[in-house]
Structure 1
Amino acid sequence: MARIVEGIEHAVLEQAAEWFALLRSEGLAAQEHARWQAWLEARPQHRLAWQRVEAISRQFEGLAQPQVARQALQAQGLPRRQALKLLSLLGASSALLLAGRALPWQQWQASQRTAVGEVREARLADGSRLWLNTDSAVELFFSAGERRLALYRGELLIEALADSRPLLIDTARGRLCATAGRFGVHERERGTQVAAYAGSIELLSPVVRIAAGQQRLLGSQASAPQALDSARQAWTRGVLLADDMRLGDFIAELGRYQQGYLGCDPRVAELRLVGAFPLAERERIFGALEASLPVRVVRRLPWWISVEPREAAAT
């Protein structure tokens, strides 16, 4: 069965990435460009895949622009120091415009935020501990009468101390309420995943209780409670734990911690994986995968990486 990624077959995405790399190379023959055009028009999936590759590439196009802009400003006769100052102002203003376009204002103004690949710990005003996972945004509302967090994006884990004020967590699916304990909340495409590592927590409306040792997905309807996977909180220590984990699931989770595209060929997605992997050392993880499984890590572009069968890597 073909693996579907955002409505696009995995194999078609890989073809699009290969064409993108080829078209960026120097000295491309006209016949190659015609072949690409024919491929693009052959199926609607091809055009969708091409748009996906282009969208990801635009995230990285700005990396080379400062040098080009600096040369252009200096060509106008501006001193180097003045050119750099103007460049930094232009960069800051454009970054704010892009951020404002891409994110709701609550997310990019949140007092607690992490970038892609970043994990952060903070001590709250009441002594509780808060961890933010990759690409997350949380606002804090602490006062004499209130102890509340709003999770705008991503994932948090909180170790809440007992207090006369209840702990409230606002999510996309409603407000959670607890007293003391250790809780994880993750905003996902399918809903809000809530895990109770210690203590119980409940969604206030409609009332859904998550008991200690349970996790539930709060979507259009709450899922049945499931036994808690305690390894899920290992990210707070900068570790991704795999205990007989599907390689496809492992790669999907690892992809949250890096910019660009990280995919898994469906031919190897069912391989099982065991180990503790340091999230800050991506190349070390890729080396471990190649050493322990019959796979190769293929880089079609610096920001487009795929885990494939070892024998297919050279094709």
Structure 2
Amino acid sequence: MSDAALAPPSIEEQAALWVVTLDEDPADHAARTACAQWCAEDPRHARALETMRRMWQSVTPQTPLPAPERRPTRRRASRHALGLLVVLPCLLWLGSALPWRIWLADERSAVGEVRQITLADGSLVTLNSDSAIDIDLSGDKRRLRLRRGEVYVEVAKGSAPFVVIDRDGSARALGTRYAVRRDAEDTLVTVTESRVLVRPRAAPEQATEVAAGEQVRFDRNGITLSTRAVAPGALTWRQGRVVFQDAPVAEVLRELARYRPGLLLADEQALAGLRFTGVLPARQSDEALALLAAALPIEVSRLSPWLVRVSAPAAR
């Protein structure tokens, strides 16, 4: 048996197995207890389980399933979980987790798409892949609400301040050009011209002014990463490229996954220690993966057009 076959399952694969196991036998108290313990081990486990549960519910009947005649074996559950991992990327391609606020947003971009929008006040807004915003230019307001993803704003001159608001707080323009990126745990603000005032939602006393050439991370409770210089190429996604400087391969793959429909899974344990420096195409993910595989000892397995797994090559 190869090393790849012995590699531990990813968090997504474990979450899929838990969803299928609990769905087939909801009364299994031991399985529920074990699943709860697994979720408590790492916050990523609970998030992955909730994501898989939402997507599983979207492809299963809304009426209760009949009780199985016998307790499913782990082999059967594993086969169903594999089916889940093959089907779910199609749903991701059609709209990720399908939150209604994203579908009803004023402007959206598809996975792999970068869109430019000119607002009524003359400001230019660029949406990164899989992003969504609401726009409020009523009265004396100039406000964007970032629902998902990343936005780069080139603010037109005007009497009213321009503010980007998201889950964690606000970024008010004191000049003209900056980006706001909403990540899973916090928000990243990158300033390319003039200054921006960042204000965490629940800690306004930690308001921080960010100058051109700087960036800062924050969540609703405060600053999570102090102001630092912007890395070269940080916003080259606007030109369809992503730049990495001595970055862990797992981080590179997470970034590429933002531009690829479906799931891009990584065996992070097997890839630990591998790092990458270079430029990859953002919107041609197959080409990006080929370039990565040519530069590093990794193996890219395409299980379907919407499901790709990256791991260390099997031992010979």
CA distance in 1 between partners of 2:306 and 2:38 (Å): 20
2:134 and 2:272 map into 1 onto residues whose CA distance is: 37
Deviations along 1:148-169, one digit per CA (max 9) or x if unpaired, are 1111221111111332221111
- How far is 1:202 from its partner? 0.6
- Indicate the structure (1 or 2) with the bigger Cα radius of gyration: 1
Distance (Å, rounded) in 2 between the aligned partners of 1:126 and 1:263? 43
Give the number of the structure with larger relative contact order, counting CA–CA contacts within 8 Å between residues 6 or more apart: 2
Q: Which residue does the alignment assign to 1:236?
A: 238
Which one of 7, 11, 18 corresponds to residue 8 of structure 2?
A: 11
Matching residue of 1:151: 146
Instruction: Work out which of the residue numbers 252, 264, 276 in structure 2 matches 1:250.
Output: 252
Q: Which amino acid aligns with 2:236?
A: A
Report the Cα offset of residue 170 of structure 1.
Answer: 1.4
Match of 2:26 in 1: none
Query: Aligned residue for 1:282?
Result: 285
Cα distance change, pair 238–61 in 1 and its aligned pair in 2 (3 A): farther
Superposition map of 1:1-315 within 5 A: 11-13=8-10, 16=13, 44=35, 58=56, 102-105=98-101, 107-143=102-138, 145-204=140-199, 205-206=204-205, 207-219=207-219, 220-222=221-223, 223-258=225-260, 259-312=262-315
Using a 3 Å threshold, how does the CA distance of structure 1 residues 54 and 159 change in structure 2: closer, same or farther? closer
Which residue type is aligned with residue 246 of structure 2? D
Letter in 1 for 2:140: G
User: Where in structure 2 are there 5+ consecutive unaligned residues?
Assistant: 1-6, 18-30, 40-44, 61-90
Percent of paired sites with the same residue: 27
Q: Distance in 2 between matches of 1:15 and 1:123?
A: 38
Q: Name the CA shift for 1:274/1:59 in 2 (closer, same or farther; >3 Å).
A: farther
Instruction: Check whether the contact 2:143–2:164 (CA below 8 A) recurs between aligned residues.
Output: yes
| Partner in structure 1 of residue 42 of structure 2 | none
Q: Which amino acid aligns with 1:228?
A: V
* Kept after mapping to 2: 8 A contact 1:56/1:260: no
Number of aligned positions between the proteins: 248
Superposed displacement of residue 242, structure 1: 1.8
Change in Cα spacing, 1:264 to 1:236, as seen in structure 2 (3 Å) is: farther
TM-score, with length taken from structure 1: 0.67
Do the aligned partners of 1:56 and 1:261 also contact (CA within 8 Å) in 2?
Answer: no
- Report the residue type matching 1:232 in the other structure: A
* Separation of aligned partners in 2, 1:202 and 1:304: 40
Q: 1:60 to 1:270 in 2, by over 3 A?
A: farther
Do the aligned residues in 2 keep the contact of 1:261 with 1:304 (CA within 8 Å)? Answer: yes
Contact 1:132 1:157 in 2 (8 A): yes
Check the 8 A contact 1:197/1:230 in 2, yes or no: no
Instruction: Report SS of the residue matched to 2:287.
Output: helix
Aligned equivalents of 2:250, 2:104: Cα separation in 1:
34
Amino acid at match of 2:215: Q
TM-score, normalised via structure 2 length: 0.67
Q: 1:135 to 1:16 in 2, by over 3 A?
A: closer
RMSD: 3.6
255 and 52 in structure 1: CA distance in 2 versus 1, 3 angstrom threshold:
farther
